[in-house]
Structure 1
Amino acid sequence: MRLDDLRGLRSAPTLAVADSKALMVELLKGMEACEWFTAGVMADSALAALQCLRQLERALGWPPLAPDPAVEAPEKIAGAVFLKANQHTGRFLVRPETGLGEGLLITGHNPGDPAAEDTWGPLPLDFFGP
């Protein structure tokens, strides 16, 4: 399996261990060319989305992002959500959203080399965890 196989999927597939390892190697290689990242998490709850974000941060050594104070606190949101995390601003927001599927999308940004930019996923919510 390759990262391109995930493009266009509504939800992340269940991955075999060997596929997860191969995708991780490919993902990290693609991410090397990027300066900063955004992540989108489609999940059935704010808690699941936050767990996915925190696993991603720990695995990649990113400083923890802070919730955007201008939007509703994640713990007050019931049901399916979309979490948007922005490493450049250091913030994330969670909004109620139904019908999206489930998974993690990562977008790499490099203003100096736009050809290096890409979006990868959807990856399973536990791709970087526990």
Structure 2
Amino acid sequence: MTSTPIRHLKDLALLRTAPSLEPAQRLALGQELRETMAAFDWFTVGVMAADAEQALTSLRQLEAACGWEAMQVQDEALAPGDGVFLKANQANGTVRLRQESGLGEGVLITGHRHNGDGSGSTWGPLPLDCFAS
């Protein structure tokens, strides 16, 4: 558990890694996230994880939970290492992975609008299994 109470998405913003969440917190944050995401047209997703498999699993769970089409991985070959960062871009349907050590762990989501009004805040880090069914 985290020592800082997590009640809203904004409470995650200062964290380096995703906190453990109680079931009630997951439900409340999930509802707030769905309501917040409804104001945006497309999303970028960052996943900080120990390896590519864990990062891709988390992304696929998010895609399924949101009813998104699966995005295509552009670079699949990563050496086993100290961590990865996955960047998914819903606008062009691509996923890129890179080795990166020293990161926290979690899912970051940013909303964007087609009309050029810019992007919203970045929400997270959320637990890697936050979108598991």
Following the alignment from structure 2 to structure 1, what is the Cα–Cα distance between the partners of residues 72 and 118?
Answer: 29
Question: Which residue is 2:4 aligned to?
Answer: none
Matched, 1:7 2:10: no
Q: 1:115 to 1:29 in 2, by over 3 A?
A: farther
Cα deviation for residue 118 of structure 1 reads 1.9
Q: Normalization by structure 2: what TM-score? A: 0.89
Matched, 1:109 2:112: yes
Q: 1:84 to 1:115 in 2, by over 3 A?
A: closer
Is the CA contact 1:77–1:95 (under 8 Å) kept in the aligned structure 2?
A: no
Cα deviation for residue 78 of structure 1 reads 1.2
The CA deviation string for residues 67-121 of structure 1, in whole angstroms up to 9 with x for no partner, is: 11xx4x24x3312100000000101011000111100000000143637722100
1-10 or 110-119: which moved more?
110-119
State the identity as a percent.
50
Q: Normalization by structure 1: what TM-score? A: 0.91
Matched, 1:118 2:121: yes
- Partner SS, residue 41 of structure 1: strand
Give the RMSD, CA atoms, in angstroms.
1.4
Question: Which residue is 1:30 aligned to?
Answer: 36
The CA deviation string for residues 7-57 of structure 1, in whole angstroms up to 9 with x for no partner, is: 021000000000000000100011001000000000001000000000001
Following the alignment from structure 1 to structure 2, what is the Cα–Cα distance between the partners of residues 62 and 118?
Answer: 20
Question: Which residue is 1:55 aligned to?
Answer: 61
Following the alignment from structure 1 to structure 2, what is the Cα–Cα distance between the partners of residues 113 and 16?
Answer: 37
Matched residues, number: 126
Matched, 1:129 2:109: no
Following the alignment from structure 1 to structure 2, what is the Cα–Cα distance between the partners of residues 89 and 116?
Answer: 16
Q: 1:116 to 1:65 in 2, by over 3 A?
A: closer
Following the alignment from structure 1 to structure 2, what is the Cα–Cα distance between the partners of residues 6 and 78?
Answer: 29
Unaligned segments of structure 2, at least 5 residues = 1-6
Following the alignment from structure 2 to structure 1, what is the Cα–Cα distance between the partners of residues 118 and 35?
Answer: 14
For residue 96 of structure 1, the aligned residue among 85, 96, 99 is 99
